[in-house]
Amino acid sequence: MTTPSPTELIIRHGRVMDPSQNVDRTCDLLVRQGRVVGLGALGDNLPAPASDARMVDATGCIVAPGFIDLHCHLREPGKEYAETIESGGRAAAAGGFTSVLSMPNTRPVNDSAAVTRFIIETARKLSPVNVFPVGAITEGSKGEQLAPFAEMQEAGAVALTDDGLPVMNAGMMRHAMSYAAGLGLTVIDHAEDLNLTGAGQMHEGYTAVRLGLAGISGASEEIMVGRNILLAATTGAHYHVAHLSTAGALEMVREAKRRGLKVTCEVTPHHFSLIDEDVKDYDTNYKMKPPLRSRADREALLQGFADGTVDAIGTDHAPHAGSEKMQEFAQAPFGIIGLETALGLALDRLVHTGRSTLTRLVELMAVNPARIAGLDKTGRGTLKPGSVADITIFDPERNWTYDANQSFSRSKNSPFHGTNMRGGPVATIVAGNLVWNVERKSSV
Ligand SMILES: [Zn+2]
């Protein structure tokens, strides 16, 4: 963003919580020229800020390393009516995210250095948050030819995925993982066996039978997670399971970690908040992939948050225009928006229920995503002196109601419209610039 800003920013009286350096204390935080100078008390162990420094009062709030969404669909290029890099970036800022990873299933697919560069350049001009493109694993995500990983990495791609689709051919995935391991790129997997999914519309179970909708079994996901863990073990690749949704897949990740493999996973806010029984009245805002799973699956996911098996929260923000979602359930596309509700749901459903701590939440939304995407090497996911001043300020107690119609996203497809939440974002700071705050209700 081109917003002119003072060279200094001082965040006062917040509870600074940075698990990357075991910090949890109430103090001030000084930012100079887009970098963190340090933590402390002004005039004591922190130098006095310049007279034109911008001051943010964070009393009663948590000050954390900027949140990073590992899983976001910005739809540009190709489906700008549903979302753009600018509108998605504004929604991210309003959700407390300072960085997002953009999935490559655009039109054209991001399977080249040219598309990667286009995304980066557009984001630099128009998005208030950092956008890190993820390159496709195969050309056009068709599963036939590997995409040019090194060229995309050179252009700025930070990871690889064919998200929206799995890589069905195991030999292709093995080649992809070997190549990715050599380049140090994480392989993000949309784990789904398309032959098992078939024409499935929602989780296979009693609710699907009652509604007369074709089911998608948990095995559709678990078979691919199992296969790809085996390939990760063979190739040494860092394998990251996107939007993990079943108890069985989680157990395989737990076991892989026990074996010391480089395997990580993310869970979406909708999968830890909702279950298949919530799919009522054929409301297509409850149609997503993977589908909302059973109560037992959700219980296992919550346990995975508690015991550390789940590494990150990824939104799978998937904008679809109203006209696309307002079709019969079987015809409507899969996916919901999620950037602006992720933090509220995480606080409300994970922290206030005692399933998770605030420190763990910051790990799930900032520290671990930075490590998974290699962004820790660029000084993100931490507030150590000298790191990039990407900062999320949130109030764990603020009561608010989500109104999808007020979303910065161009699309409004959310099952959480009208949901009351306890806790949410207050201000988003990217490289020392205040790009959104709750009082102004607008991004700047
Ligand atoms: Zn996916």
51 — pLDDT class (breaks 50, 70, 90): confident
pTM as predicted: 0.97
What per-residue confidence (pLDDT) applies to 3?
52
pLDDT in tens, 184-230: 999 999 999 999 999 999 999 999 999 999 999 999 999 999 999 99
Q: How far apart are CA 343 and CA 345, in angstroms?
A: 5
5 — pLDDT class (breaks 50, 70, 90): low
Which of the residues 316, 376, 390, 395 is marked catalytic? 316
Name residues whose C-beta falls within 8 Å of residue 169's C-beta, 6 or more positions apart in sequence.
143
46 — pLDDT class (breaks 50, 70, 90): confident
Tell me if 24 sits within 8 A of 17, measured CB to CB.
yes
């040219």: which residue's tokens? 114
Residue list, CB under 5 A from ion ligand 1? 163, 190
Cα 151 to ligand 1 centroid, rounded to whole Å: 24
444 — pLDDT class (breaks 50, 70, 90): very low
Mean pLDDT of 174-188: 98
Cis link prior to 290 (omega < 30° from 0)? Answer: yes
pLDDT in tens, 94-136: 999 999 999 999 999 999 999 999 999 999 999 999 999 999 9
Let me know the angle formed at the C-alpha of 242 by 366 and 387, rounded to the nearest 5 degrees. 20
Q: What is the mean pLDDT of the chain?
A: 95
Cα 165 to ligand 1 centroid, rounded to whole Å: 7
443 — pLDDT class (breaks 50, 70, 90): very low
Cα 419 to ligand 1 centroid, rounded to whole Å: 25
Cis link prior to 133 (omega < 30° from 0)? Answer: no
Nearest CA to 186 out of 250, 114, 241 is that of: 241
Phi first, then psi: give them for residue 395, nearest 5 degrees. Answer: -110, 110
Cα 245 to ligand 1 centroid, rounded to whole Å: 11
Tokens of 332: 């409507």
Cα 38 to ligand 1 centroid, rounded to whole Å: 38
Classified as helix, coil or strand, 403 is coil
Residue 8's DSSP bridge partners are 32
Q: How far apart are CA 244 and CA 415, in angstroms?
A: 19
- Cα–Cα distances in angstroms (integers) from residue 283 to residues 37, 217, 286, 295, 413, in the given order: 49, 20, 6, 19, 10
Cα 85 to ligand 1 centroid, rounded to whole Å: 19
What per-residue confidence (pLDDT) applies to 150?
98
The answer to whether residue 316 is catalytic is: yes
Cα 164 to ligand 1 centroid, rounded to whole Å: 4
């998770």: which residue's tokens? 356
Tokens of 281: 């009245």
Q: How far apart are CA 245 and CA 250, in angstroms?
A: 8
Stated as kind and residue range, the H or E segment containing 17 is strand 8-18
Q: How far apart are CA 16 and CA 9, in angstroms?
A: 15
Residue 350 clears pLDDT 70, i.e. is over it: yes
Residue 264's DSSP bridge partners are 240
What per-residue confidence (pLDDT) applies to 265?
98
Tell me if 263 sits within 8 A of 239, measured CB to CB.
yes
Residue 15's DSSP bridge partners are 26, 62
Nearest CA to 243 out of 202, 198, 197, 301 is that of: 301
Tell me if 216 sits within 8 A of 193, measured CB to CB.
no
Cα 338 to ligand 1 centroid, rounded to whole Å: 14
Let me know the angle formed at the C-alpha of 37 by 32 and 43, rounded to the nearest 5 degrees. 95
Counting residues of the chain whose pLDDT is more than 70, the rounded percentage is: 98
What per-residue confidence (pLDDT) applies to 442?
46
Cα 175 to ligand 1 centroid, rounded to whole Å: 21
367 — pLDDT class (breaks 50, 70, 90): very high
What per-residue confidence (pLDDT) applies to 280?
87
Phi first, then psi: give them for residue 405, nearest 5 degrees. Answer: -70, -20
Residue 2 clears pLDDT 70, i.e. is over it: no
Q: Which amino acid is at 81?
A: Y
What per-residue confidence (pLDDT) applies to 422?
97
Cα 380 to ligand 1 centroid, rounded to whole Å: 25
Cis link prior to 104 (omega < 30° from 0)? Answer: no
Mean pLDDT of 354-365: 97
The four Cα atoms 279, 282, 288, 294 give a dihedral, to 10 degrees, of 20
Tell me if 54 sits within 8 A of 86, measured CB to CB.
no
């060229």: which residue's tokens? 151
Nearest CA to 72 out of 195, 158, 145 is that of: 158
